[in-house]
Each structure stands twice: as structure tokens, then as C-alpha cells.
């Protein structure tokens, strides 16, 4: 088995799991009639700023 095929199987598994989780979470939220904007609204304008290290880069969640 070539290195390219091994890498495709390895990374493909992570991508597949990510897609499955995203679809499942979307269906779960839709079933309960929950929207991300609603969650942010409940937190209010005074929520604290947070920064996270995500996939090799810093991501800031600024309040809207």
C-alpha cells in the first residue's frame, strides 16, 4: 500500500467522522428548534470574549 493511499484512509476517516457529527448535531438542533443565533442572544451582549486554538490557528469569538 502506498503512502498516499494510507494518508487518504487515515485523513478520510477523520473527515467522515466530522461530517457525520456535523450532520447529527444539525439534525439534533433542528429537531429541538434551536438556532445558534438564539443561543448567542441568550448569552447577551456582555458575554466575555474568548480565544481558542483551533486547527493550528487562534480563533477569537467576539461578541456581536
Task: Supply the range of the domain harboring residue 39.
Answer: 3-61
CB-based burial of residue 24 (10 Å sphere; 0-12 exposed, 13-18 middle, 19+ buried)? exposed
**Nearest of 29, 64, 32 to residue 46 by alpha carbon:** 64
Total number of domains in the chain: 1
Could you report the per-residue pLDDT of 18-57, keeping only the tens digit for each?
Answer: 999 999 999 998 999 888 788 778 877 777 777 777 777 7
Output the pLDDT for position 18.
93
Instruction: Report the pLDDT value the prediction gives residue 10, as an integer from 0 to 100.
Output: 94
Residue 63 has pLDDT above 70, yes or no: no
Amino acid at each position: 500500500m502506498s503512502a498516499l493511499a494510507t494518508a487518504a484512509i487515515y485523513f478520510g476517516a477523520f473527515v467522515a467522522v466530522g461530517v457525520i457529527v456535523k450532520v447529527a448535531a444539525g439534525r439534533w438542533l433542528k429537531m429541538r428548534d434551536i438556532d445558534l443565533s438564539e443561543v448567542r442572544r441568550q448569552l447577551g451582549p456582555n458575554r466575555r470574549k474568548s480565544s481558542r486554538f483551533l486547527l493550528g490557528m487562534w480563533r477569537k469569538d467576539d461578541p456581536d
